[in-house]
Amino acid sequence: MKILIADDDATTRLIMEAFVTKWGHSPVVVADGGAAMMALRSKDAPPVAILDWMMPGLDGIEICRRLREVQKNTYIILVTSRDDSASLVEGLEAGANDYIRKPFNQDELKARLLVGIRYAQVQQTLELRLAELESAFREIHALKARLDIPI
């Protein structure tokens, strides 16, 4: 699965990229909020994103808010060195699905990422089923019109 990694710290990006690759996923790595937003708005946007809270341009919180305004179902893990509960609440209220503190533990990041991947897989399944239902609905209405059957 494609996973967006957005962090302005080169060392953190390299560590997360190595972990995500080791765990069998395809990292999409960017160094600032503007590039992260572009990746998340692209046609083949990663369904899971690991966003640093503080980045040049758009920060992780602003990206969360903008994505939620357009009802984007990206699973977002917000990464920050902030350790107060007010920041946790702010991040989640902005639209993050999860929150991890720096320095992070590899096993904790992996567990949180797996939750995001499960979420993304469910979303993809739901979107596929919805498309199938919409197609069946169109077929029913086309048949109804051809056969002149009231429904």
For residue 96, give the nearest of 58, 55, 27, 49 by alpha carbon.
49
Q: Is the pLDDT higher at 147 or at 56?
A: 56
CATH number, domain of 97, equals: 3.40.50.2300
Domain that holds residue 82: 2-122
Please report whether residue 16 resides in a domain. Answer: yes
| 101/83 Cα distance (integer angstroms) | 7
Q: Is the pLDDT higher at 95 or at 83?
A: 95
Please report whether residue 136 resides in a domain. Answer: no
Give, as one character, the DSSP assignment of residue 8. S
Please report whether residue 137 resides in a domain. Answer: no
Percent of the chain clearing pLDDT 90 (strictly above): 73
Please report whether residue 27 resides in a domain. Answer: yes
pLDDT tier for residue 5 given thresholds of 50, 70 and 90: very high
Which distant-in-sequence residues (6+ apart) come within 8 Å of 25 by Cβ?
Answer: 1, 2, 3, 113, 117
pLDDT at 147: 80
Residues 28, 16 contacting (CB under 8 angstroms): no
Please state the rounded mean pLDDT for residues 101-113.
Answer: 94
Two tokens at 9?
């710290």
* First CA to last CA distance, the chain: 42
**Number of domains, the chain:** 1
pLDDT, tens only, 55-79: 988 999 999 999 999 878 899 999 9
pTM above 0.75, yes or no: yes
pLDDT, tens only, 36-49: 999 999 999 999 99
Please report whether residue 43 resides in a domain. Answer: yes
For residue 55, give the nearest of 108, 114, 111, 4 by alpha carbon.
4
Please report whether residue 50 resides in a domain. Answer: yes
Give the neighbor-by-neighbor strand order of the sheet with 48-52. Answer: 26-30, 2-6, 48-52, 75-80, 98-101
Please report whether residue 148 resides in a domain. Answer: no
